[in-house]
Amino acid sequence: MYCFQCQETAKNTGCTVKGVCGKPEKTANLQDLLIYALRGIAVWAKKAEEFGINDKKTGLFVARGLFTTITNANWDDDCFVDLIKDALKRRDALKDKFIAVYKERKGKDFIETLHPSATWIPAGPDEFSEKAKSVGILATENEDVRSLRELLIIGLKGVAAYADHAAVLGLEKDEIYAFLMEALDSTTKNLSVDEMVAMVMKCGETAVNAMALLDEANTSAYGHPEITEINIGVGKNPGILISGHDLKDMEELLKQTENTGVDVYTHGEMLPANCYPAFKKYDHFVGNYGGSWPYQNKEFQSFNGPILMTTNCIIPIKADTYQDRIFTTGNTGYPGVKHIAERSENAAKDFSEIIELAKKCDPPQEIENGKIVGGFARNQVLTLADKVIEAVKSGAIKRFIVMAGCDGRQKNRNYYTEVAENLPPDTIILTAGCAKYRYNKLDLGDIGGIPRVLDAGQCNDCYSLAVIAMKLQEAFGLEDINELPISYDVAWYEQKAVAVLLALLHLGVKGIRLGPTLPAFVSPAVLNVLVENFDIKPIGSVAEDIEAMMVGK
Tens of pLDDT, residue by residue over 356-392, are 999 999 999 999 999 999 999 999 998 988 999 999 9
For residue 317, give the DSSP letter.
Answer: P
pLDDT for res 384: 87
| Mean pLDDT estimate for the chain | 96
Could you tell me the pTM of the whole model?
A: 0.96
User: What are the tens digits of pLDDT across the range 286-295?
Assistant: 999 999 999 9
Domains of the chain and CATH, by start:
10-221 (1.20.1270.20), 228-359 (3.40.50.2030), 375-550 (3.40.50.2030)
Pairwise CA distance, residues 364 & 370, whole Å: 15
**pLDDT at 183 (0 to 100):** 98
Taking the C-alpha atoms of residue 346 and residue 348, their distance in angstroms, rounded to an integer, is 7
**pLDDT at residue 456, rounded to an integer:** 95
pLDDT band per the 50, 70, 90 thresholds, residue 65? very high
Pairing assessment for the beta strands 326-329 and 307-309 based on DSSP bridges: parallel
Helix or strand holding residue 239 (H, E): strand 239-243
Q: How confident is the model at residue 345 (pLDDT cuts 50, 70, 90)?
A: confident
Q: What are phi and psi of 100, to 5 degrees?
A: -65, -45
- Determine the pLDDT at residue 230: 98
Using CA atoms, how far apart are residues 292 and 417, in angstroms rounded to an integer? 14
Q: Sign of torsion, CA 96 58 83 44?
A: positive
Q: From CA 250, how far away is CA 337, in angstroms rounded? A: 20
Q: Which amino acid is at 189?
A: K
Pairing of the two strands 326-329 and 338-340? parallel
Question: How many whole angstroms separate alpha carbon 480 and alpha carbon 509?
Answer: 9
pLDDT for residue 167: 97
Instruction: Please choose, from the candidates 240, 224, 153, the residue with its C-alpha nearest in 3D space to the C-alpha of residue 188.
Output: 153
**Per-residue confidence band for 21, with pLDDT thresholds at 50, 70 and 90:** very high
Q: What is the pLDDT of residues 529-548, one digit of tens each?
A: 999 999 999 999 999 999 99
- pLDDT at residue 55 tops 90: no
Distance CA 531, CA 534 (A): 5
